[in-house]
Structure 1
Amino acid sequence: MAAPPPPVAPAPAEQDGERMSPPVPQAGRYHHIPAVHVPVQPSHEQYLGEDISPVRMALQEPVSTFSVDVDTGAYANARRFLSMGQMPPADAVRTEEMINYFRYDYPAPTDRSVPFTVSTDMAVTPWNADTRLLRVGLRGYDLDAAERPAANLVFLLDVSGSMRSPDKLPLVQTAMRMLASELSEDDRVSIVVYAGAAGVVLEPTNDECDIRIAIDTLRAGGSTAGGAGIQLAYNVARGSFIEGGINRVILATDGDFNVGVSDRNALVDLIEEQRDSGVTLTTLGFGTGNLNEAMMEQIANHGNGNYAYIDSAMEARKVLSEEMESTLFTIAHDVKIQVEFNPALVSQYRLIGYENRALREEDFDNDAVDAGEIGAGHQVTALYEIVPVGGEGWIRPRRYETPPDVPQNRTEEMAFLQLRYKLPGEGNSRLIQRPLPSAMLAEAGTARGDLAFVASVAAYGQLMRGDSLLNGFDYDDAVALAGDQDGYWREEFLQLAGLADSLDAR
């Protein structure tokens, strides 16, 4: 067993109150939340920003195709910025991860032969009376803890010098202790660490005492040989591979790789070579200042896993305790969504979010194209904003374009929804097809309930991204649209939206 890196003196303690959460607002006063200002702006963080999805003309481009996304890291990361008294960089915001941070009222599957349900509904867009919001929701079947297969988990922990601060390695240790109490007698946990070099500090075990001792001995120091650590972690995972079980590497880091393989594209290639072995990858981001989210999000996508950002012990419990069952047990692979809009009824549309999940139309039927995974109990939500024919759209008629005659066939359908997915262990995809009736357009009313909340979160994300098509709709409007909410996370969202309003105004 390799010894952990030598201890390094901890970083100086932060001044009291410097990173405290904003005060809890009183009901009806969300837009007056005072910001807690932190003077030092994180300046070395890396994000893979994408331009906001453009408007599409249904006559020329009727088909929209994308991979599902169950990541939530962008939401927690934006919360971190807001709690520090700063607006998050637009490149750090992915609206689909804002939306998918929350759970909605989708029905659970009644038959596991189809691993998830598909729900659709529509409302008048709260920020544009001339458009409609189409919501597509997926919900995977739930899995009791007793049903979960044995798990072979290899934790790959960054113990380099950049992980010294309290919001990094100490928070990693807190998260690990939470997980240690969740293991079954059939599970196995290994710990691999990396700094200037990589080593194994805990061989596969389910002894909670041994796991806690190994966690408590971790110290931060040295440079960051992340590529070597990833390679070693996969080797350990394959060495303790559980046939028919869950085999996963869980990487906890700020992503600041600076020794050996550190280029994002080279790391993606390394991860893609490993995923065919049956070992998947989850990445957990920590800390402030040098967070390389661009790397962590991309390698998780290519490793058939997911990415989350841990900004507090509460988020650690949510990700590693409350949601771990769904994160670990995959029920559907390479899940793709395709919507074809009927130009006889829909003139223009745009997909809200999913910019870095966009696929080509021909990718939908190609089973060799990688896409997202859905775990037990996972939910995926997508929103389209559409312009019905005859309504005022974002793109006006072109001067030299002769309006073509649109064939009035299939006018009972406004769109055709298709989903492709693979069951675990299968190489050929299965297909779900569903026409969406034109009555959805005619019957669309005011957004209420969960759909109103989804629209509120979408507006929150798009405002932080700088969306120019919200017609003056602001954070205050998003709070009003959401209305009264129950539950810690939804109530917190109202506070964050109010805080964003005060910071944006400042």
Structure 2
Amino acid sequence: MAAPYAPGNVIVSAHRSMHGKRTPAFPYPVPVLPEGADQFPGKEANKAVLVAEQPVSTFSTDVDTASYAFVRRMLTENRLPPPDAVRVEEMVNYFPYRYSAPRDPARPFAIGTEVMPSPWTAGNQLLHIAVRGYDVKAAERPSANVVLLVDVSGSMAYPDRLPLLQQAFRLFAQQLRDEDRVAIVTYADGTTVALEPTAGKERGKIVDAIAALKGGGGTAGGAGLQRAYELAERHFDPKAVNRVILATDGDFNLGITDPRQLERFIVDKRKSGIYLSILGVGAGNLNDALMQRLAQSGNGNAAYIDSLLEARKALGEELGSTMFPIANDVKVQVEFNPAQVAAYRLIGYETRMLQKQDFKDDKVDAGDIGAGHTVTAIYEITPAAAAAGLVDPPRYGGNARGKPAAANGDELCFVKVRYKLPGQAASRQIDHPVAAASARRQFEAAPDDQRFAVAVAAFAQRLRGEQQVADMSFADIAALANGARGQDPEGYRAEFVKLVRMAESLDKVGPQAGREPGLLRR
């Protein structure tokens, strides 16, 4: 929500000294914001499930990266992130991976699996599932028809909000092709069309409109969404990718404010073929929960911009994969063989879980994947040989380990990916059996990408305070990641190791604000 913006209610810094005093950081006034008012979707971590009772696990794919960037911001500011801000799948999927790529756009996904020993629970295994989308060549990509919806309320005056977004959008403008089109809608107390749809070749005009944006007023986000979608529908191009990109720091406090009403509005607009992406900025009143809800409802994705480097990654390097979808409503279903697996636990994806019957129901919405995007999912599994240590056998008959069909008894599990090609209503499916004999005997024998993803998953679970990794120290996680860094041209993996070390230090000495020292060891 926007804070009052008046001459008598301003501060000159968003930073505190060690003694709690404000110190000047930038020369112009910004509104006072409440501290610790960020909102995140509160979801308990997935628990282990007995295969004999529920052999099938189903979830929607997720290519969001907002959680990782927000966690990085907290750690670099010497604060441990709130547990609810840490979403394992977004932490893992933040990084680029060199998974095997599909060659045929008609079959747009390649599925790969690795089974390896768990580094945090002796006797358990990890099933790593890698999905990579077809990478459409730049020359073959359709044009982009984009409406930038920018929050210019009073709270956006901070340098890490509207000024940072203006830098980010200038980078975005440099990526535009001549045939692309961009419009800009702003909202504060009301809404304004700051730029009518403009061809990408008129970059100067687009950049000037971005530079002219100024903050002040309330936060009529609902009205802004309505205005942006109206503009997108009026100038809809059936041959282009039509998308609204919402950039904001917080809540909607004017007009439509009910999250359920906003969600229904986005779901209805999704039918028009217009995608929604959300860029979050700032901290203190970030409504991440609402952003996640709207992005998931609008066939879109959510990212968090904490720096110009992150803006470059989200709106520059990854523009192709984010902007150009190759498949909609992408779902994953894994059926475990009870003769091989006693129990499983999906690590993360708590906000993306689906019912078994949702997998083949084409009316059920799911995630969308762009050109060249990768999706990673990790299951922790308990082998069937350890079933006796989980539950007592049934007293009145039955077999806790199940009776698989003889023809498939050597399979550990069966992975299925279901998706729709853009513009199509019927789903297609790709199947991938996983042989029990494919399991690695040593964790170190798995490829670098898979081991690094496991290290990130371990770190995210540790930050969330999950007991499964309680015996794995930050030093162990850093060593795991260091040993799997492989090729790291942009330094993302090296940065990750530094963040693990920072979390280790904060957990020992205590952050300036947030959790108490040693909380992650409880």
What TM-score does the superposition give when structure 1 sets the normalisation length? 0.91
Q: Which residue of 1 is the match for residue 367 of structure 2?
A: 372
Contact 1:364–1:420 at 8 Å: present in 2 too? yes
Correspondent of 2:150 among 154, 157, 160:
157
Q: Distance in 2 between the 1:401 and 1:445 partners?
A: 39
Report the Cα offset of residue 245 of structure 1.
0.5
Deviation per CA, 1:171-201: give whole Å up to 9, x if none: 1111111111111110111000000001101
Q: Which runs of 5+ in 2 are unaligned?
A: 19-32, 510-522
Residue 51 to residue 373, structure 1, CA distance change in 2 (3 Å): same
Report the Cα offset of residue 294 of structure 1.
0.5
- Is 1:223 the counterpart of 2:218 in the alignment? yes
Q: Which residue of 1 is the match for residue 352 of structure 2?
A: 357
Q: Distance in 1 between the 2:172 and 2:186 partners?
A: 17
Correspondent of 2:504 among 495, 498, 501:
501
Q: Distance in 2 between the 1:403 and 1:464 partners?
A: 40
Report the Cα offset of residue 442 of structure 1.
7.0
- Is 1:341 the counterpart of 2:336 in the alignment? yes
Contact 1:150–1:242 at 8 Å: present in 2 too? no
Deviation per CA, 1:327-353: give whole Å up to 9, x if none: 011001101000010111100110000
Aligned residues: 480
Letter in 2 for 1:172: L
Q: Which residue of 2 is the match for residue 102 of structure 1?
A: 95
Query: What secondary structure sits across from 2:175 in the alignment?
Result: coil
Contact 1:162–1:256 at 8 Å: present in 2 too? no
Letter in 2 for 1:108: A
Deviation per CA, 1:121-149: give whole Å up to 9, x if none: 11101111210010111111112322221
Q: Which residue of 1 is the match for residue 495 of structure 2?
A: 492
Q: Distance in 1 between the 2:440 and 2:152 partners?
A: 58
Q: Where do 1:391-470 residues align within 5 Å?
A: 391=386, 395-397=390-392, 404=399, 406-408=402-404, 409=406, 410-441=408-439, 443=441, 445-446=443-444, 447-470=446-469
Deviation per CA, 1:387-424: give whole Å up to 9, x if none: 11113787343796867263253321111111110111
Report the Cα offset of residue 256 of structure 1.
1.9
Report the Cα offset of residue 264 of structure 1.
1.3
- Is 1:291 the counterpart of 2:290 in the alignment? no
Deviation per CA, 1:216-242: give whole Å up to 9, x if none: 111110001000000000011111111
Deviation per CA, 1:261-302: give whole Å up to 9, x if none: 112111111101111111110000000110000011110111
Report the Cα offset of residue 445 of structure 1.
4.5
Deviation per CA, 1:20-70: give whole Å up to 9, x if none: xxxxxxxxxxxxxxxxxxxx9941111112100011001011000000000
Residue 112 to residue 444, structure 1, CA distance change in 2 (3 Å): farther
Q: Which runs of 5+ in 1 are unaligned?
A: 1-6, 20-39
Q: Which residue of 1 is the match for residue 259 of structure 2?
A: 264
Aligned-residue Cα RMSD (Å) equals 2.1
- Range 396-405 or range 201-210, more displaced: 396-405
Letter in 2 for 1:373: D
Contact 2:71–2:81 at 8 Å: present in 1 too? yes
Report the Cα offset of residue 431 of structure 1.
1.1
Contact 1:196–1:224 at 8 Å: present in 2 too? yes
Query: What secondary structure sits across from 2:468 in the alignment?
Result: coil
Contact 1:68–1:337 at 8 Å: present in 2 too? yes
Q: Distance in 1 between the 2:135 and 2:67 partners?
A: 25
Query: What secondary structure sits across from 1:291 in the alignment?
Result: coil
Contact 2:39–2:286 at 8 Å: present in 1 too? yes
Q: Distance in 2 between the 1:13 and 1:394 partners?
A: 59
Letter in 1 for 2:504: D
Report the Cα offset of residue 472 of structure 1.
0.6
What TM-score does the superposition give when structure 2 sets the normalisation length? 0.88
Q: Distance in 2 between the 1:137 and 1:224 partners?
A: 40
Contact 1:130–1:392 at 8 Å: present in 2 too? no
Query: What secondary structure sits across from 1:86 in the alignment?
Result: coil
- Range 427-436 or range 310-319, more displaced: 427-436
Contact 2:119–2:443 at 8 Å: present in 1 too? no
Residue 41 to residue 261, structure 1, CA distance change in 2 (3 Å): closer
Contact 1:128–1:471 at 8 Å: present in 2 too? no
Q: Where do 1:113-262 residues align within 5 Å?
A: 113-206=106-199, 207-262=202-257
Residue 393 to residue 245, structure 1, CA distance change in 2 (3 Å): farther
Contact 2:118–2:443 at 8 Å: present in 1 too? no
Q: Distance in 1 between the 2:447 and 2:429 partners?
A: 31
Query: What secondary structure sits across from 1:451 in the alignment?
Result: helix
Q: Distance in 2 between the 1:304 and 1:71 partners?
A: 12
Identical amino acids, percent of aligned pairs: 47
Letter in 2 for 1:415: C
Contact 2:97–2:449 at 8 Å: present in 1 too? yes
Contact 1:8–1:221 at 8 Å: present in 2 too? no
Q: Where do 1:378-397 residues align within 5 Å?
A: 378-391=373-386, 395-397=390-392
